[in-house]
A and B are shown apart, each in its own frame.
Chain A
Amino acid sequence: MDALSLLMGGFADALTPVNLLWCLAGVVLGTAVGVLPGLGSSMAVALLLPLTFLLEPTAAFIMFAGIYYGGQFGGATTSILLNTPGQSSSIVTAFEGHAMALRGRAAQALAASVIGSFVGGIIATTVVAFFAQRMVAFALGFGPAEYFALAMLAFVSTAAVVTSSPARGIAALGMGIALSVVGIDDQSGAVRMTLGIPQLLDGVDIVVVTVGLLAVGEVLHSAFRPGGDAPARALDSGTPWLSRADWRRSWGPWLRGTALGLPFGVVPAGGAEIPTFLSYGAEKALARRRGRSEFGRGAIEGVAGPEAANNATTATAMIPLLGLGLPTSATAAVMLAAFQQYGMQPGPLLFESEGDLVWALLASMFVGTVLLLVINLPFAPLWARLLRLPRRHLYAGLVVFATVGVYAGKGSVFEVGLLYAVGALGLLMRRYGIPVAPVLIGVILGPLAEGELRRAMAASQGDLAILVDSGIAVGIYAVILAVAVGLVAKRVRDRRRARPTGRAAEEAAPSGRG
């Protein structure tokens, strides 16, 4: 009940007209960016990260919550109308959603996905509001050893699980950690890896890394992509609505999808794509058992379930983010960066030191979900019109906003140059299939891992045993081990399964497609 009264306090903060306006702006911006092909919610949050220099924290985070949800939904819209998922978590939605659109049921597909997002979002946010504090109570006992173990867990899972090729994952992670080391060392004051450039003494700004890798890298890479500038032809959507039969078919998938999505936000397993695939598989299997499966020709269950799972995962990712300071997806990593911009370190102490802000953020997640429903249900056709924007203008606009955002932060051209340099790195990474998410995790959690390790070692005078001294730390290492073993087992199984067909398995591992 304590959480309830605190949450009500949060609503009081979030529901002021000004903050409501920021949330609205966030949802609109997030949807707009999410609708644009190739841009997902992590990009939306990243592009608006420089705004943190301008807004006060509460307003900024309320806006971020809106962007977060808006971006997720926008991705679904393009999947359905255009068959181009804006982000990996809406790939599944494209399977059945686009098939529905081709059969003239785009409106129903959109409605099923909006309402599914709403259901998943509301349920998951409720879970977050009540469980984040539990997590905090648990995390208050954490010392340097436990935090180091947590960082290792995040490293291993992003480098290995998220990517299909561990070498690429580790390379990306190392890149991120190397970037995070640049600048003056907190503990000793040593100047590290600045190449004698005074502007680098403060380190490489996380905003620059995020925006450079996600936005500028994407634009540079777009120059490589084949295909002309003709805007893709989107199908007509019509105003979303559902018939009674559609409701009857959708409510089950919504709830099942939500239930599947909830746990995945909490574990660092790479965000929302896995639960969306699981939900899709479950609905498909259920439909087959019922006998008259529409899967493959546009089954509404195949849109409703994954979208609910997607949003549920998105929301529960807030539990480890707020409670432990552990980002479980690229978007959550960017949110963590936003906290750091304000000099706050998410984790157990955040609830005490910035309690009002946290509860306002949680409340605005509810508000954002509701606004999403209100804005997107009637205006989906309008969003679809954004798809007519020529690709070259879209990408040029991205560069302009990335540039001006980074410049506005510090008023320095050097930062803009750094932005472009990181963008070039992002281009190379995209070209050779190196994932971007581990870099972000490395930049953000690298200093945490290093600081905690050195603190632990200083306390024990070099005795490594301190790292496995507590039950929690041992438990976390056990999880890491389980992740690694599971991964090896899966790879062996995949190879065995692929051998009869005589292809793919050998190539799969080095090329990162496996």
Chain B
Amino acid sequence: MTTAEPRPTGAPEAAPEAAPAATAAPEAAPAPARAGGRRAALAVPALTAAITVCCLAGGALMEVPAAAGFLGPRFFPLAVGALLLATALASAAWALRPGARAAAPDAPPAPPASEGGPAAAPDGAAPAHDGPSAADATAPAGGNAAPGAAPVRSDWRALGTMAATFTAHLLLLEPLGWLVAGTLLFWGTSFALDRRRPLLDLCVAAALSGTVQLLFSGLLDVPLPAGLLGKVL
């Protein structure tokens, strides 16, 4: 999770706080539905608390110019922080309430949309890109079908490869130029997802990265870092 470091909201706390919850997930593989639901329930307050800290600290430590107007620049971050603090406390209390553990094993295996008919579905079907519907629908299903932890472990390897690829791309983009760094970016990402045909991926990566360079430098007149290519020409 190296990419999490330049977090814009300014919370070094955010990464550590969220990370333990995340890294602990694979151990829960034998009972994914129960542990996942519970951990997810605690992850939300944790993430909320991290943002709260950013807002409150950012608001409190701010240097306010003398002529700041009536409410000033501090008010809004502090107000949002207060709201988030209340939310974090409330959702943590909800997740840790006595009944939560008993209710968790009964977690519904999938959104009830398919049986429940259209009336029930809009809730189960979360809005575009909102993730939970997809995540929640696949996770318990996969867990029930194959109780082994194998897929989870390989998932972490894939994510690690991807994070390493992104970091490498950031470091190499300017020194080596787009052509090399872009090829690496494409290759690393596709390799992370499936490592069976690395050579084919490399060819596709080089072709795409070259096309992008031509497109941006040639047609759209936006210079991408030339790097090595610039030295050769």
Contact = CB atoms under 8 A, between A and B. Distances in A.
Q: Tell whether A and B belong to one assembly.
A: yes
B7 interface: yes
A483 B54 CA distance: 30
A190 B6 CA distance: 22
Contacts of A411: 223
B151 to A, nearest CB: 5
Interface residues of B, number: 115
A461 interface: yes
Interface in A399-416: 399-401, 403-404, 407-408, 411, 413-414, 416
A512 interface: yes
B18 A428 contact: yes
Contact of B136 (A329, A433, A457): A433
Given A88-B125, A513-B132, A454 B69 contact: yes
Given A277-B121, A400-B186, A437-B128, A167 B75 contact: no
A91 B125 contact: yes
A393 interface: yes
A190 to B, nearest CB: 4
Contacts of A164: 123-124, 126
A257 to B, nearest CB: 13
A423 B3 contact: yes
Nearest to A461: B70
A373 to B, nearest CB: 24
Most buried by B among A162, A393, A450, A458: A393
B229 interface: no
Given A400-B182, A413-B173, A432-B47, A222 B83 contact: no
A390 B158 CA distance: 16
B125 A273 contact: yes
A51 to B, nearest CB: 9
B118 A281 contact: yes
B64 A273 contact: no
A396 B108 contact: no
Given A223-B159, A273-B122, A514-B123, A509 B106 contact: no
B1 A404 contact: no
A395 B127 contact: no
Interface stretch (A122-130, A131-139, A179-187): A179-187
Contacts of A502: 106
A261 B190 CA distance: 39
Contact of A40 (B62, B68, B107, B128): B128
A188 interface: yes
B18 A223 contact: no
B18 to A, nearest CB: 6
A299 interface: no
A88 B133 CA distance: 9
Q: Which of B48, B58, B118, B170 counts the most A-chain CB atoms under 10 A from its CB?
A: B118
A193 B54 contact: yes
Interface stretch (A213-221, A345-353, A472-480): A213-221
A458 to B, nearest CB: 4
A170 B222 CA distance: 39
Interface stretch (A102-110, A112-120, A224-232, A319-327): A224-232
A507 interface: yes
Interface in B30-76: 37, 40-41, 43-45, 47-48, 51-52, 54-55, 58, 62-65, 67-76
Contacts of B58: 178, 181, 192-193
B185 to A, nearest CB: 6
Interface in B89-125: 90-91, 94-95, 99-100, 103-104, 106-108, 111-113, 117-119, 121-125
Contacts of B136: 433, 511-513
Contacts of A510: 37, 41, 44, 91, 94-95, 100
Contact of B77 (A181, A191, A462): A181
Contacts of B222: 53-54, 408
Contacts of B232: none
Select the residue from B43, B64, B193 with max chain A CB neighbours within 10 A.
Answer: B193
Contacts of A395: 189-190, 193
A297 interface: no
User: In the complex, which of the residues B55, B130, B209 has the most CB atoms of chain A within 10 Å of its own CB atom?
Assistant: B130
B22 A513 contact: no
Contacts of A418: 6, 8
B69 A399 contact: no
B174 interface: yes
Interface in A324-363: 329-331
A181 B57 CA distance: 13
Contacts of A431: 22, 40, 43, 131, 135
A86 to B, nearest CB: 9
A174 B87 contact: yes
B75 A163 contact: no
Interface string B175-197: 00010001001110111111010
Interface in A219-271: 219-229, 270-271
A492 to B, nearest CB: 14
A423 B194 CA distance: 20
Contacts of A174: 48, 51-52, 55, 80, 83-84, 87
B220 interface: yes
A140 to B, nearest CB: 26
Interface in A436-483: 436-437, 450, 453-454, 457-458, 461-462
Given A171-B88, A188-B68, A330-B127, 18 more contacts: A54-B222, A87-B128, A91-B113, A175-B51, A177-B76, A178-B9, A182-B9, A200-B8, A225-B134, A225-B155, A226-B138, A281-B117, A396-B186, A396-B193, A421-B4, A428-B22, A433-B132, A433-B135
Interface of B: 1, 3-10, 18, 22, 37, 40-41, 43-45, 47-48, 51-52, 54-55, 58, 62-65, 67-77, 80, 83-84, 87-88, 90-91, 94-95, 99-100, 103-104, 106-108, 111-113, 117-119, 121-136, 138-139, 142, 151, 155, 158-159, 161-163, 166, 169-170, 173-174, 178, 182, 185-187, 189-194, 196, 201, 204-205, 208-209, 212, 216, 220, 222-224
User: Considering the complex of A and B, which 9 residue pairs feature the smallest CB-CB distances, nearest first?
Assistant: A433-B132, A430-B131, A193-B58, A392-B190, A392-B193, A167-B91, A229-B194, A506-B103, A435-B130
